[in-house]
Amino acid sequence: MTEKDALDKLIIDEEENPDISMLAEIISGKILLIKTGELNFEKEFFKLRDSQKILIYLLGRKAIVIKKLKEGFSEKITSKEIAESIGIPYKSVSKYLSVDLKHIIKSENGKYFVPNYNLYKCREKLR
């Protein structure tokens, strides 16, 4: 067995489970998860800036996946689908994803999601 050094504590495992308590804290009061795998936007959601709405929406999708509310569902989604789902113009969504949320979200094959290790950044962005 290899002994761990000080740098090993700085290595991120992308597959590591998210902090469920932090995720619940972040989305609480803004969205509810319906057992069918849909999201219900709460009053506080509509008070958020558009970039924050996108972030909450992506985190809601993450929660659906974690709780396995919808079979075959992926938290990853295109910018066009985000725009259609939360009613923000597509050009604005694209700008927010590439500028405001650039260091919080991740893109794979044109689909966006929040990596589990960035929940603390989400919490800060929503304060």
Over residues 20-73, the pLDDT tens digits come to 999 999 999 999 999 999 999 999 999 999 999 999 999 999 999 999 999 999
78-93 pLDDT tens trace: 999 999 999 999 999 9
How many angstroms separate the CA atoms of 49 and 21, rounded? 24
Instruction: Identify the CA nearest to 60 among candidates 83, 22, 105, 30.
Output: 30
**56 with 41: CB under 8 angstroms?**
no
Can you give the residue ranges of every domain in the chain? Answer: 17-125
pLDDT of 91-108, one tens digit each?
Answer: 999 999 999 999 999 999
CB 62 within 8 A of CB 113: yes
Contact 114/122 with Cβ under 8 angstroms? yes
Which listed CATH number (3.30.70.3450, 1.10.10.10, 1.20.140.10, 2.40.10.10) goes with 17-125?
1.10.10.10
What is the structure's pLDDT at 2?
Answer: 62
pLDDT at 12: 73
- Give Cα 67 to chain centroid, integer Å: 14
The per-residue pLDDT for 89 is 97
> Whose structure tokens read 């044109």?
110
Digit-coded pLDDT (tens) for 110-122:
999 999 999 999 9
Q: pTM of the entire structure? A: 0.90
Residue 66, both tokens:
């974690």
pLDDT of amino acid 68: 95
User: What's the pLDDT at 1?
Assistant: 52
